[in-house]
Structure 1
Amino acid sequence: MKIDLLIENALVFNSFLKTFDVENIAISGEKFYYVSKENLRYLHPSKILDASGKYIIPGFIDIHMHIESSMIPPATFSGAALSHGVTTVVADSHEIANVFGLEGIRTFMDEKTELDIFYAIPSSVPSTTPELETTGGIIGIEEVLSLLEHPDVIALGEAMNFKGITSEPDSLIRQILKTVQEQKPFMPLEGHVPRVTGEDLSKFMYAGITADHTHQSPDSILEKIKSGIFLEFQKKSITPENIAVLNKHQLFEHIAIITDDIMADDLLEGHLDANVRLAIEAGMPVREAIYTTTYTAARRMGFQDRGSISAGYLADFLILDQLENVHIEAVYKKGKLVHSRGDEMSYSKNDSAFPEQFYHSIHCSPLTKDDLQFPISKKQNCVLCNVMQIQEIGTFTEHVQREISVKNGLLDWENSGLALILVMERYGKNGNIGYGLVENALTEKGAVGTTWAHDHHNLMVMGTSMEDILQVQEELLRLNGGYAVSKDGKVTAACPLPIGGILSDESVPVLGKQLQAVRNGMREIGYKNTNEIMSFSTLSLPVSPKIKITDFGMMDVHTHEHIPLVEDDDADFIN
């Protein structure tokens, strides 16, 4: 047996006992060969590393994430993730699938990466149905069967269609769930189960879903884990009150820490390591934070070769010089050093080669003022309108109604204190435009827009003035997709995403700077949220409670009922 690397005197995390012990680690090729307290120099290692006073833990495993949320291709994401100690991910690429279908997923899978990227089949493309949202691609039974044959596919991605799961036995999502269970009975089935409780939760589980990654509360944690749901904690669920429940009931066997979505400007500061630190700050014991980002994650996905520093496992590990703040000194992947602290090369620009048509995917006409005027044919001073009310924390919305004045026969939305939001179908299929109104959005004269609109990724603009909405839409068309902000009729920030309207071909630092400018621009026009970009980008996600908008208009997330802009029975809204 050839020993390539011997690490001596390290404080090694034992995943089975959740302890740190001074051990020596022998590595041969890509795997751990022997972990022992005894002197292992008799194995004649090619290299010896003294790790006295250092901590060694398994590489982080992120089992629920979307590479596209970082707005970079896999080849760029790989180095950035490794820089933060992430050595394995399970990616649900339903964003690229919504734009380009199976071709988009295959393009991702073809990229060569140092990071181990496994895939969950996107189960909800579209997230609801083609009658409720228009997408560029659709993942049906034929596509699922094709992806099941790929060796890197190890799970079914989050099933999201609430109505299709709970009350439509013949829906596409139910067919997909049944197909996977028949073809791969041991495959993990991921769920998107926000604010689902009681019998509805049982309906999700009866369909085969066994995990949830959405926003949790102390009550939902207890109900879901008691019911048998494995919980995956993203940033917004890592709160002191939630961690207190996990600590009190010792529920760590039933959870994993994940990221779900990390944008490029946040990626500069951290990835899964940032959520580990957040969990520790919120009260989770350090050993449990490590355990739930390594071993329980591996076990959930059925990995038999990672998640522990044990003989026969892949030599994916991190060297920490400080434990409490998870201060990463070095990252090893398959026994090789891939990142040292201070190494900026991991953030380099990608060398991806996407098809030319991926750069020209925005197919909708320029807006005009006529598109932003809403005639009310009957003579009235005001009408009752349906409104999406957003919050300063999280992505959930509430359905409220507000009276809006009618001026010269037109809905006077510009002076209503609300923002107009619209979604334009961008794939050249039907030319739909859906309209809505938003409360608690913008307080200044301006607009923000994007083609990174969960999950259908049509073109979405929200603003308080016609002039700014027109400016933003024009800029998005010029960029072939991305984000843009306008204030007082002038574009103040932009972030080009020319690959499918959702990905950049820039380096992470450049993209991060562009996104930060967009965030700042949104704040300048009054947008308030702990994550402004994600809050705005999910106003179009028709599976996240309670009311969202697509190119078909506003809809109730649970019932899928269309919600008209103008509610009044005696008003004749004729646009």
Structure 2
Amino acid sequence: MPSKIKTALGTHKAELVLKNGKYLNVFTNELLEGTIAIHHGYFVGIGDYEGIEEIDLQGKTVIPSFIDGHIHLESSIVSPYEFACSVIPHGTTAVIADPHEIANVTGTDGLDYMLKSTEDLPLDVFMMLPSCVPATPEDENGAKLTHHELVPYLREKRVLGLGEVMNFVGVLAEDKELMDKISSTLAYHKRVDGHAPNLVGNEINAYITAGITSDHESITEEEALEKLRKGMWVMIREGTAAKNLSSLMKLFEEKYHFRCMLVTDDKHPGELKYHGHLDYIIKKAISLGADPIFAIKMASFNTAKYFRLPEVGAIGIGYKANFIVTSDINKLDILEVYKEGEKIYSKAQGLRAFMKPAVDKSLLKRVQSTFNVKELSPSDFIFEDKPPYTVIGLEDGQITTKKLILENLENCTKLAVIERHKGTGHIGRSYLHGYGLKEGALATSIAHDSHNLIVAGTNEKDMALAANCVRNNEGGLAIALNGRIIGELPLPIAGLMCERNTDEVEEIMKALKEQAYSQGVSKNIDPFMTLGFVSLPVIPEIRLTTKGLVEL
């Protein structure tokens, strides 16, 4: 087989040549015409070439395949293998995953499971180490990851750095353990991602000074621009629960776009199936006025550049031949997806079959046995309080909340968070405004980031029934109504994921959501994902943990 250099010189035929098409040049922001030569999985030439295999593009366009710069695979509810099957047809060939959800349940077992279950997939899964396990010192989660436990993972090739540093209070106070994690990551010349909602002025200056170089929590244009102007990279998030794209459209302008990335953060299976992945965000951005070239770069080249992945993200000489064939960059229809020069998906033939990575049985057993909580009774959900009531107020389209002081509980739902890892018996109780539930109860073990058992309901009996269903299933989702379970989805992998395929999970999820809406849950929110964020104490303004209400 001739070398890449000889093939680039044109003295030998390339393995694959793409003719009669256009390609997106991310270096000069141009759509250009040219014959593209691919050899040994790399782009080796753009010019005049012949190939062993030649494809006539018939005017179609080649663009870089997509890279999601910040996602929690656990939020897809399916295994990493099934996640890969879901996103590759949408043009994604790489993700940077932060496994802090499963790590908060099972510690290093969770990290090992995510690394093993993503080996040798046609989707490149890179990892950012969870920086805050637990998310805050007050959280009751299943494990604690110290600086010493994380350092060995920094030697892993697929580990690109330290994941979102949610404990910005600890950063500003120079917490020694947290600073050791950051300094160790920087010593390995790897990235430290941020998580700094509403942090401005001197506080964001100090946060950046600690070595944190990105943020995905900007909600307003002003907040995002301040972070950009102070040297951060901004991740524009459009996921299932948090949707920030519309308010951050200014960042798609030429003078800003090169320091920005498109990310999903959390994405439910139905969103992946019916709407898409990063292709959905790009198409939405284009519909809101974004230049398609800039939008595509923000989902490919920019992400690779930030994470120091030198061989991906571009149609350029010396880059891996990871690309998409589309008929129109404005419509962004995904016709074919290639990984290192091999076709792994076509709209006509579907996804190429690939092997599911093997996970050690003992490791799998450990991440599937994570519940340690007694059977619950209706008396556990009796609230002893009186007005005025401190209530968590939901905000449509956001995961932020507002503290409300109310004299009555109109449009409020009972809310409880039950510690489920160590059998402490702790239960936090409060009320949720704007959720809309009128009857019955919903329960879930997806409760960021500690993933305790969370239940919302209108009566104690149904709350206990839904909570016990999730407990008995070793995790998952459940809906109770009038004293019986009317819908459930077991999620035995750490109480977060299952081995079922995406289509099957989506059908169950769709039925569960429709049932939740029929019981009154507001149609402006995702019933389960919204509920799962209500106990996350690093997001303003007020949250419920196993120990009670927490304010930021």
Q: What TM-score, normalized by structure 2, do the two folds share?
A: 0.92
Report what 2:366 is aligned to: 357
**Matched residue type, 1:125:** V
Gaps of 5+ in 1: 377-381, 405-414, 559-575
Deviation readout 1:120-152 (Å, 9 max, x if unpaired) = 1111111111xx111112111112211111111
Offset of residue 247 of structure 1: 4.8
1:552 aligns to 2:547 (yes or no): yes
Q: C-alpha distance in 1, partners of 2:41/2:299? A: 21
Report what 2:6 is aligned to: none
**Matched residue type, 2:379:** D
Question: Between the two proteins, what is the percent identity of the paired residues?
Answer: 27
Q: C-alpha distance in 1, partners of 2:114/2:247? A: 38
Q: C-alpha distance in 1, partners of 2:502/2:28? A: 38
Task: Check 1:525–1:289 CA distance in 2 against 1; reply closer, same or farther (3 A cut).
Answer: same
Q: C-alpha distance in 2, partners of 1:97/1:262? A: 18
Match of 1:250 among 255, 264, 289: 255
**Matched residue type, 2:271:** D
Q: How does 1:73-472 map to 2 (within 5 A)?
A: 73-111=79-117, 112=119, 113-129=121-137, 132-166=138-172, 168-181=173-186, 183-184=187-188, 186-235=189-238, 236-243=242-249, 245-247=250-252, 250-269=255-274, 270-341=276-347, 343=349, 345=351, 353=359, 355-375=364-384, 382-403=386-407, 417-472=411-466
Q: C-alpha distance in 2, partners of 1:372/1:237? A: 32
Report what 2:5 is aligned to: none
Q: C-alpha distance in 2, partners of 1:348/1:69? A: 23
- Partners of 2:370 and 2:421 within 8 A in 1: yes
**Matched residue type, 2:58:** S
**Matched residue type, 1:71:** I
Task: Check 1:375–1:553 CA distance in 2 against 1; reply closer, same or farther (3 A cut).
Answer: closer
Offset of residue 402 of structure 1: 2.1
Q: C-alpha distance in 2, partners of 1:352/1:544? A: 36
Q: C-alpha distance in 2, partners of 1:451/1:522? A: 16
Report what 2:42 is aligned to: 31
Paired residue secondary structure (1:138): coil
- Partners of 1:239 and 1:282 within 8 A in 2: no
Q: How does 1:556-571 map to 2 (within 5 A)?
A: 556=551, 558=552
- Partners of 1:89 and 1:117 within 8 A in 2: yes
- Partners of 1:448 and 1:483 within 8 A in 2: yes
Deviation readout 1:375-411 (Å, 9 max, x if unpaired) = 46xxxxx43221111122211111112235xxxxxxx
Q: C-alpha distance in 1, partners of 2:454/2:141? A: 14
Deviation readout 1:487-512 (Å, 9 max, x if unpaired) = 33333322221111000110010011
Offset of residue 253 of structure 1: 1.1
Most deviating of 280-289 and 197-206: 197-206
- Partners of 1:238 and 1:278 within 8 A in 2: no
Q: C-alpha distance in 1, partners of 2:483/2:356? A: 35
Paired residue secondary structure (2:84): helix
Deviation readout 1:147-199 (Å, 9 max, x if unpaired) = 11111111210000132122x22253233113322x22x32210011111112
Task: Check 1:350–1:416 CA distance in 2 against 1; reply closer, same or farther (3 A cut).
Answer: farther
Paired residue secondary structure (2:403): strand
Offset of residue 12 of structure 1: 0.6
**Matched residue type, 2:391:** V
Task: Check 1:286–1:400 CA distance in 2 against 1; reply closer, same or farther (3 A cut).
Answer: same
Count of aligned positions: 531
Deviation readout 1:316-367 (Å, 9 max, x if unpaired) = 0000022212100000001100011155557999665452232222121121
Offset of residue 248 of structure 1: 5.3
Report what 1:514 is aligned to: 508
Task: Check 1:24–1:530 CA distance in 2 against 1; reply closer, same or farther (3 A cut).
Answer: farther
Q: C-alpha distance in 2, partners of 1:521/1:11? A: 48
**Matched residue type, 2:378:** K
Paired residue secondary structure (2:334): strand
- Partners of 1:347 and 1:509 within 8 A in 2: no
Deviation readout 1:433-462 (Å, 9 max, x if unpaired) = 111211112341121110011111111101
Task: Check 1:240–1:402 CA distance in 2 against 1; reply closer, same or farther (3 A cut).
Answer: closer
Q: What TM-score, normalized by structure 1, do the two folds share?
A: 0.88
Gaps of 5+ in 2: 3-12
Q: C-alpha distance in 1, partners of 2:351/2:472? A: 31
Q: C-alpha distance in 1, partners of 2:146/2:90? A: 35
- Partners of 2:441 and 2:458 within 8 A in 1: yes
- Partners of 1:479 and 1:498 within 8 A in 2: yes
Q: C-alpha distance in 2, partners of 1:517/1:314? A: 41
**Matched residue type, 1:127:** A
Q: C-alpha distance in 1, partners of 2:352/2:67? A: 18
Match of 2:62 among 56, 60, 66: 56
Task: Check 1:248–1:5 CA distance in 2 against 1; reply closer, same or farther (3 A cut).
Answer: closer
Paired residue secondary structure (1:522): helix
Paired residue secondary structure (1:322): coil
**Matched residue type, 2:215:** D
Offset of residue 241 of structure 1: 4.5
Paired residue secondary structure (2:21): strand
- Partners of 2:243 and 2:398 within 8 A in 1: no
